[in-house]
Amino acid sequence: MRIEEMSIPGAFLITPDQLSDERGAFYEALRCDMLERAVGVPFQPQQINYSVSKRHTLRGIHSVSIPPGQAKFVTCVRGALRDIVVDLRIGSPAFGRHQVTELDAVSGRSVYVPEGVGHGFLALTDDACICYVVSSTYLPGTQIDINPLDPDLDLPWDCPQEPLISEKDAKASSLAEALASGTLPDLHDCRTSDAARTALVRAPSERQ
């Protein structure tokens, strides 16, 4: 597989190498050892989530506060979607910037979303299914929601009609409002969280 850093620091695009024949195809979707070498911090899956969406459904922009923090490995397992990551880390040189990736079940491409970076997507097909492999379990009250239609972010959803969006997302804070309220993570806190996870993973082997 090819693992390439995106324009958002710490976010990566993963493109699998597929073995195809007349029966179909096989590929490795996630290799934690390869991902960790590229990312530089451990990725230990704690929960797997799926969401199924109608065409033109818009979900996001979502992140998780630190602590507990949450990194995501996002894959489209049916249909196609327009995936967008947004840097929400105060102090990041890419704060407020975004990157768009087209994900679909045929290519098997995935996106690694680090702690402190927001994520959202637009379903491009009916019955689109997205899989999230995440590094922490769900903890009520820790989610950060940013309005995906925030005019200051001006995210290129390019939806040909009014998107289907939840009431929660439609009423979510703008980036400026979230910044003023003090709910966004600091880049230093994200790095401290990464360092703590690295130390926790290495500790058992160091004691042997």
Annotated active-site positions, please?
Answer: 62, 132
Q: Answer yes or no: are the C-beta atoms of 112 and 163 closer than 8 Å.
A: no
Phi, psi at residue 47, to the nearest 5°? -160, 145
Tokens linked to 125: 């097909």
Measured between alpha carbons, how far is residue 34 from residues 6, 113, 125 in Å? Answer: 16, 15, 31
In residues, how long is the chain?
208
- Largest Cα–Cα separation, the chain: 59
Peptide bond into 93 cis (omega under 30): no
Taking Cα atoms as reference points, which of 123, 120, 125 lies closest to residue 100?
A: 120
Cα Rg for the chain, rounded, in angstroms?
17
